[in-house]
Chains A and B, each alone.
Chain A
C-alpha cells in the first residue's frame, strides 16, 4: 500500500521496492507437511497475498470501478423517486439491478466487501511497516560503500587539508542529517549520512489517517441521522420529537428514531434578495430551542441562511431550499368556506415554477358516497413571475412579482380513503383514469381572482406564503472524520515531498599532506531533485564555489 516498502531497505542503488514475490515459494515448500501446518500455511499465504501491494492495487481499482454505477444510476439515498421511475421504465433489467444492489451502491454487499478487504490489506501492510519503522528509528546509517564511484551521484577531489579537518567540515555541513563516522583501513575515515526519515513517518500517518477516516465514516453510518421538513415561514413551528414530524428521514443503521436529540424551530419569515433578476441571498428568520432552553421554554433567535447552518447541542439545522405555498379558499354553495395554504413543489429551482395539489372536503358531509363525489382539488402550476407561452404558464424568475396560478379544479373522489399513501403535491392519477375524479374548471388565476363552478362553488386564489425546507442533521462522528482527514493530508504531504536520501563522504590520506575526498549520494526513493541538492552539498564539501 505504499510507494516505498521496507523491502527496498538495502544498499543496492534503486533496489526493487516491491516485496510481493514471497507467496509462491513458501507455498511449494510447505507441501509435504502436516494438515495443520498446511492450513496454517494457507492462512499465511492468503494473508500475504491479501496484503501484497499488487492485491492492494487491484482492490483500489475494484473500488473505483464499483463506485462508478453510483454516479451513473439513480441512487435511493439521493432520490427515491428517480429510482422507482428507472425500475419501472426498465422492466426486468431494472428489477435485476435492484436485486443486485445497484441503486444502493454504497451500502451494497459488494461495495462494502471491497472496502473492507482494502482495509484489511492496509492493516496487513501497516503492521510490519510500523514495526520496521520503529526499529529503523534507532538504526544507524549504513556503511559507506567501498566504491563510491558507483553511486548515482559521485564527486571527488584532492585537497591539502588533513583527514580530520575534512571530517570536521563534513560534520558541520551535514547538520540535521543522521551521521555515523567510521574508521577505515589505511587511515581513511568516512561519514555515512541519511536524511528524510519523516517521509516514512508521513507515509504511515497517511495510511493510518486513511484507516481512521474510513472507520469513523463507517461509524457515522451507524449513528447519524438526517431529516427534512417543510415549514411555512409564517411563524409555524417544528419539533423533531419524533421521526413522523419530518417529511423524510434518513436514519443511520442503529437509529430507530426514538431518541432524537430534541430541537424546536419557529420560522418567522423568509427573505430573498435579488440583483438584476438573480437571487443573491436567501435568509430565514427563526427562533429555536435546544438543550436547556427546551426546559426553560426560552427561544433563541437566529438568521438561518444558505451556507450558514445553525449548530446547536450536537445538531445542525440547515436552510436547504424554499418555495411557495399558494392560499386558496373554497366557498361552498351553502356559504361555508375553507381556506388552505399548502406548499407546492418547485419543479425548476432557478425560476421556482411550482406544481402542487391543494385538496378540500366540503364540511358537514357525513355520507361516504356523497363525500366521494364532492371532494375538490386545486392542482396545476404556480409561477412567482409569470411568463405565458401561448396558454402555458411558466415562470420567468424566482421573484414574487405577480404570482399566478394555472389551475385545474378537480371534483369527485380524491382517493384519500383508498388506504394508499398520497403525495401532498399530486392528485391520485388512477382516480382520474377511472373517471372518478373529473376536471370541472381550468383557469389562470392571479391573486384576488376566482372561478365559480357549475354548482355555484367558488374557488379563489387569495395569496401566497413562503415555505422553507429545513434539514436537521445529527452526526457525532464527523469531527473524527475531519481529524483523520487532516492527519491523512499532512502525512500525504510529507510522504510525497520529503526525500529519503543518503550521502557518504570518505577522506583518504594520499601521501604527504594530501587527502582524497569523495562524496557519493543516493536517493532511497524517487531521485527527482536530489541531484541539485547533492551538487550543492558536494560543492560545499569539496571546496568548490
Chain B
C-alpha cells in the first residue's frame, strides 16, 4: 500500500497548527492563573472546607472530599458574574479543544496516509502520547476545578510536541517487518496511553511539592502557591490519574512481553526498554504503596510519582536515542 503523500502533508500541517493553538491556549490560561481571583478563590474554598470537616472527622476524610466539595461549592448557589479572567480560562479550554481536534486529525490523517496504526515511530509515538495527555486533562477538568492550572499541563505537552515535530520527525512510511503485528496496535497504544496520562500526576506532584513547601515555609513561592489549590486536591488528582494509568501501563508491558515472545524469541530479556519499563513499573507500584504507609504519604509520595514520570521520559528519549536495543524503531537519524 503506497503512502498517500497529500494526506501525510495535511497531517503535518494539522500537527503544527495544533501546537500553535495549544500555545495560544496557554496564554489564555496564564491570564486566568495570574490575574484571576479564581485561583485564589478555589484555594480559599478548599481550605475552608478542610477546616470544617477537620473539626468534625479525622484528618483523612477532610482531604478525601476536598475536591468534591469544591465542585459542589462551584455549582451550588447563585453564581457571581463571571470575571474577565474566568472568561479567559473558558476561552483557553475552547482553544484546547480546538487544538485537540487538530491534533486528533493529525493522527487520523497519518493513519489513513500510511494505512496502519499511526504509532510506529517516535514522532508518532509522541503525537499520540500528548494527545492522550490532553484528553485526560480535559476529562479531569470536568470534575475538578483546576482549569487555571492547565498551563502547567500544556507546557510539557507543547515541549514534547515541539521536540517530536522537529528532532524526532519522520516521514510517513510503511512499517518495517518487525513491527507488522496487531500487537503494535495494542502494545504501543497502551504504552502511549499510560505515558500520556502519567504526565498529569507528574505535573500535579510537582505543584504539590511547591504547595507543601509554601505551607511549611510561607515565604517560599508565596504568590505562586497562593493560587494553587489545596495540597490535598493536587494529591487527589495525582492519585486518581495514577490509579487509572498504572493498570494500563501494566497491560502495555504485559502485551510487550507477549509480543516479544513472538518477535524476539523470548518474553523478557532485559533489553534497555524492558529494563526501564520494569523500573518505571516498580516506581509506580512504590507510589501506590507509599500512599498507604505512615510517614510516606504526602511529600514522599509526590516525589516518587515524579520519579516515575522521569523514568517514563527517560525511557522514551534516552533509551530510544542513546542506547541501542531491540526497541530501536525510533525512525530517527
User: Which residues of A are at the interface with B, using a C-beta cutoff of 8 A?
Assistant: 1-5, 12-14, 16-18, 20-21, 53-54, 56-57, 60-61, 63-64, 67-68, 70-72, 75, 77-78, 105-106, 150-152, 217, 226, 275-276, 278-282, 305-309, 316, 318, 320, 471, 473, 475, 478, 481-482, 485, 488-489, 492-493, 496-497, 523, 526-528, 531-532
Contact = CB atoms under 8 A, between A and B. Distances in A.
B218 interface: no
Nearest to A306: B177
A471 B265 CA distance: 7
Contacts of B265: 226, 309, 316, 318, 320, 471, 473
Nearest to A75: B270
B78 interface: no
B276 A280 contact: no
A72 B273 CA distance: 11
B177 A68 contact: no
Contacts of B250: 488-489, 492
A20 B57 contact: no
A527 B178 contact: no
B112 interface: no
B293 A279 contact: no
B121 to A, nearest CB: 12
Interface in B142-169: none
B177 A279 contact: yes
B282 A63 contact: yes
A107 B29 CA distance: 51
Q: Which secondary structure characterizes the binding site on chain A?
A: mixed
B174 A478 contact: no
Contacts of A488: 250
Contact of B64 (A12, A151, A275, A528): A528
B2 interface: yes
Interface residues of B, number: 66
A496 B243 contact: yes
A394 to B, nearest CB: 15
Interface in B208-253: 236, 239-240, 243, 246-247, 250-251
B279 A18 contact: no
B289 A1 contact: yes
Given A14-B59, A226-B265, A473-B265, A78 B294 contact: no
16 contacts: A3-B289, A3-B291, A14-B57, A18-B293, A63-B282, A64-B282, A67-B275, A68-B279, A276-B2, A308-B262, A320-B264, A482-B267, A485-B254, A489-B247, A496-B246, A497-B243
A2 B292 contact: yes
Contacts of B240: 528
Interface string B289-318: 111111110000000000000010000000
Interface in B55-100: 56-61, 64-65, 68
B286 A60 contact: yes
Given A54-B295, A63-B282, A306-B178, A14 B289 contact: no
B294 A18 contact: yes
B48 interface: no
B282 A60 contact: yes
A481 B292 contact: no
Given A3-B289, A67-B275, A278-B176, 7 more contacts: A2-B289, A18-B295, A60-B285, A278-B174, A307-B177, A478-B267, A485-B257
Given A316-B265, A478-B267, A61 B68 contact: no
A437 to B, nearest CB: 31
A71 B294 contact: no
Given A473-B266, A482-B258, A71 B180 contact: no
Contact of A527 (B65, B176, B183, B271): B65
A64 B286 contact: yes
Contacts of B321: none
Contact of B296 (A57, A305, A471): A57
B61 A13 contact: yes
Q: Which secondary structure characterizes the binding site on chain B?
A: helix
B176 A217 contact: no
B61 A527 contact: yes
A3 B292 contact: yes
Contacts of A71: 272, 275-276, 279, 319, 323
B218 to A, nearest CB: 27
Contacts of B296: 54, 57
Contact of A279 (B60, B176, B264, B266): B176
B108 interface: no
A16 B293 CA distance: 9
Given A307-B262, A492-B247, A152 B177 contact: no
Contacts of B60: 13-14, 527
Contact of A280 (B56, B176, B311): B176
Listed residue (A5, A60, A64, A531) with the most chain B CB atoms within 10 angstroms of its CB: A64
B283 interface: yes
A497 B240 CA distance: 10
A481 B289 CA distance: 24
A72 B264 CA distance: 21
B293 A280 contact: no
A217 B268 contact: yes
B117 interface: no
Nearest to B292: A3
Contact of B293 (A53, A68, A282): A53
Contacts of B266: 226, 473, 475
Contacts of A17: 292
B175 interface: yes
B68 A278 contact: no
B185 interface: no
Contacts of B286: 57, 60-61, 64
Contacts of B135: none
A492 B178 CA distance: 31
A282 to B, nearest CB: 5
B10 interface: no
Given A3-B291, A57-B296, A489-B247, A275 B174 contact: yes
Contacts of A67: 275, 278-279, 282
A527 B251 contact: no
Contacts of B262: 307-309
Contacts of A226: 265-266
B289 A526 contact: no
A150 B56 contact: yes
B3 interface: yes
Contact of B58 (A14, A53, A217, A496): A14
A276 B172 CA distance: 12
Nearest to B314: A71
A150 B263 contact: no
A14 B177 contact: no
Contacts of A532: 68
Contacts of B290: 57
B271 to A, nearest CB: 7
B146 to A, nearest CB: 15
A99 B176 CA distance: 40
A487 to B, nearest CB: 11
A276 B53 CA distance: 67
A60 B289 contact: yes
Contacts of B3: 276
A280 B57 contact: no
Contacts of B282: 60, 63-64, 67
A384 to B, nearest CB: 16
A276 B239 CA distance: 47
Which 4 pairs across A and B sit closest by C-beta, in order of nearness? A14-B60, A527-B64, A18-B294, A152-B61
A482 B289 CA distance: 24
Nearest to A74: B323
A477 to B, nearest CB: 10
Given A226-B266, A279-B177, A308-B262, A12 B58 contact: yes
